[in-house]
Structure 1
Amino acid sequence: MLNPAYKITIANKTIDTTNEPKASTVLDLSVTLDMDTPADRFTIVLGQVNGLKPARDDEAKIELGYADNGGLTQVIGGTVVTVEPGLTTNRVIGYTPASALLRTFVNKTYESKTAGQIVKDLAGVADVDVATAEDGINFPGYVIDGQRSAYHHMQDLAELSGFDLYFNADGELVFEKFIRGKTVHIFEYAKHIVSLDVLRSPPRASAVEAWGESPGGSRGDKAWVWLTRDFSNSKGTAGSGDLKLLLERSPLRTIDAARTAANATLTTIQRRTLRGQLLSVGRPEVKLGDAIRLRDVPDDTLNQLFQVRSITHRITKSSGFITTIEFRSI
């Protein structure tokens, strides 16, 4: 029998149920990791007894697993942002360093920088550690305006380059292209899967045309600052068919950038045609950046590889340890 366990470290205090399983005052523990939501979060409901006394800005990390099966795995690192006291419980909420990016606003212009270089610089401004930042599109010029947060500018760069933007379990920023997943986790029907819901939808477009504002490479590298009335030599295209999406973004000032953005947008459209959610017994080893493979599902079209997009871990005294995974096709 598997015995759910966890280790919560906040500031210099720790609750570790592998050492003292009966001493925990945690009534409800949940961790939500989501590529499509700006900030991952953890929520801890504590009984009003002596024990953890978290405060705003305390550093925190949470490890989950089983006391009798392979130990614990860190699932999130972040900072306490609020403590909500009640008569019998305290609710502690914390976020990853994405919250720092959401509070960072700058005005800056970059010349001859890749998307990855811009992301690294913005992360430095927000004092956020970077695990990986691949190059992506090379922009002759890119403007960051202070009307939106650094996080939202990073998200724009990720979408144009066809990259994912998220924080790993150590609280470090990842900006990279998804290929086949860092790790592939197997989920078998009637063995690991408690419930499975799938949504199929038609693609919103079968082709994409990306447009910028300048003649770009068609008039030389220095022409990126010009405006143009003729886009025929600088537009990027991907796919075919009558259902066409027009993508107009001012930073796409070279034909290479426009092509990359068009391909990235079409890939995203295609991947969103098959999405789903599964419920399983606790699987702390599943992380953002990973893939899952379904096996022995009655609908054979689902027995394939999918990208993990969202993970929610929850441990309660009444329901034990469960993991909910949202995924989409690759």
Structure 2
Amino acid sequence: MVKPTLTLEIGSLLTSTDNPVAGIKNLVIERDMDIPADVLRLQLMERSGIALDNAVSAKLGYDGNEEVVFTGNVVALKPAIAAVEIQALGHMNVLLNLRTSATFENQSAGDIAHHLINEAGATAGTVENGVTFPRYYVDNRISAYEHLRSLADRLGYELYTDRNGNIMFHPLGPAAGLDSLGGLGSAVAGALGGAGLSFVYKQHLLQAAADRQPVAWRKIDVGGESPMSGKGDTTSHWLTINDSDYRGEAGDGSPQILVRDPAARTKDLADRFAAGLLATHKRNAHEISITVLGQAQIDLGDSISSSDVPDDLIDGSGYVRAIRHRFGEGIGFVTDVRISLDVNE
């Protein structure tokens, strides 16, 4: 029988299952694409010199064969007589704390992302170039994270950190074909990356549940303010009596919504934003949540599937949008995973 094991480095403290300095009690790691920063919550018997802003690295696995599951920094200490609770946030926190202003001309979405990631002092992982903007503005009224989140939502991209703390800015699932194939209908043909992990009922699944909801918007229109695409990228015309010629759209049916976006300065950009926003609204509509024995190797964005569940709504394949690892007394090591399915499944 294999034994769950843990190794933690916090500042100068090194503690593990085999050498439990400071007395490890419980550990929870939550990483969710809908939440800006990864979170680690830890209970120790004593603080052992741990201080705010100490670097944190956590590894989980079995019999000492461990994988990195979290990197970040301590943001809160709550010592008490019997124990201390430690909270840490992942490296996306530096983008949450950065406020800056910049103007970009003829730069891609990836160029903008790289600029903000570098200015925050973070490390870029997979960053998709995506579309090129004639002009794009970033100001310090909101954080760099909020600027990148808004840009990602327009393009149908995901913004998150991998388990090593690298900033990821790229499309996943059906949205993966939007830039190369030029439309949401074609994007559905974009395959989910790799074969991925498969978890089978009566073999791996401790718990499983599905959540199916209608898509918030079935059709999205973007733009309608500027006739620029008929005059060239460098012009600044912002009024038109025939805005349908310059409006982008994606999807069909109702409910539908019109989005006014000054960044959509051409019809091509308006079409691309509409397709991206539609993909963004679809990705939470059909989801599966599963619980399995600890799987440290799973990362956000991984392809994954569940199968042979009696209710076929709980069967399906998609990509990982949320992970929670739990390790400690009375629970051992278990992993909860939330999977985004293709809305057409």
What TM bracket, shorter-length normalisation?
A: over 0.9
- Residue 270 of structure 1 and its aligned partner are, at CA, apart by 3.1
1:183–1:310 distance in 2 versus 1, CA, 3 Å: farther
Q: List per-residue Cα deviations over 1:167-196 (Å, max 9, x = no partner).
A: 111111011111414661111112211111
Residue in structure 2 matched with residue 247 of structure 1 by the alignment: 259
Question: 206-215 or 163-172, which moves further after superposition?
Answer: 206-215
Residue in structure 2 matched with residue 33 of structure 1 by the alignment: 31
Q: Does 1:55 align with 2:51?
A: yes
- Residue 301 of structure 1 and its aligned partner are, at CA, apart by 4.2
Q: What number of residue pairs does the alignment pair up?
A: 323
Residue in structure 2 matched with residue 133 of structure 1 by the alignment: 127
8 Å CA contact retained: 1:34, 1:311: yes
Q: List per-residue Cα deviations over 1:253-310 (Å, max 9, x = no partner).
A: 1112111111112223333321232111111111101121111111234432122111
Letter of the aligned partner of 1:198 in structure 2?
A
Letter of the aligned partner of 2:230 in structure 1?
S
The 1-side partners of 2:61 and 2:254 are apart by 50
The 2-side partners of 1:113 and 1:302 are apart by 42
Residue in structure 1 matched with residue 111 of structure 2 by the alignment: 117
8 Å CA contact retained: 2:157, 2:280: no
8 Å CA contact retained: 1:158, 1:165: yes
1:212–1:174 distance in 2 versus 1, CA, 3 Å: farther
Letter of the aligned partner of 1:168 in structure 2?
D
Residue in structure 2 matched with residue 10 of structure 1 by the alignment: 10
Name segments (4+ residues, structure 1) moved above 3 Å: none
Q: List per-residue Cα deviations over 1:174-227 (Å, max 9, x = no partner).
A: 11111414661111112211111211111222222111643232211212x331
TM-score (structure 2 length as normaliser): 0.89
Unpaired segments ≥5 residues, structure 2? 174-191
Residue in structure 2 matched with residue 43 of structure 1 by the alignment: 41
Q: Does 1:101 align with 2:98?
A: no
1:301–1:91 distance in 2 versus 1, CA, 3 Å: closer
8 Å CA contact retained: 2:27, 2:328: yes
**Secondary structure of 1:222's partner?**
coil
The 2-side partners of 1:266 and 1:258 are apart by 12
The 1-side partners of 2:195 and 2:4 are apart by 23
- Residue 150 of structure 1 and its aligned partner are, at CA, apart by 0.4
8 Å CA contact retained: 1:76, 1:96: yes
8 Å CA contact retained: 1:213, 1:252: no
Unpaired segments ≥5 residues, structure 1? none
Residue in structure 2 matched with residue 287 of structure 1 by the alignment: 299
The 1-side partners of 2:26 and 2:302 are apart by 26
Question: Aligned ranges for residues 224-239 of structure 1 at < 5 Å?
Answer: 225-229=236-240, 230-239=242-251
**Secondary structure of 1:266's partner?**
helix
Question: 155-164 or 172-181, which moves further after superposition?
Answer: 172-181
Q: List per-residue Cα deviations over 1:214-260 (Å, max 9, x = no partner).
A: 3232211212x331234222211112224322222111111121111
Q: Does 1:87 align with 2:87?
A: no
Letter of the aligned partner of 1:207 in structure 2?
K
TM-score (structure 1 length as normaliser): 0.92
- Residue 13 of structure 1 and its aligned partner are, at CA, apart by 2.6
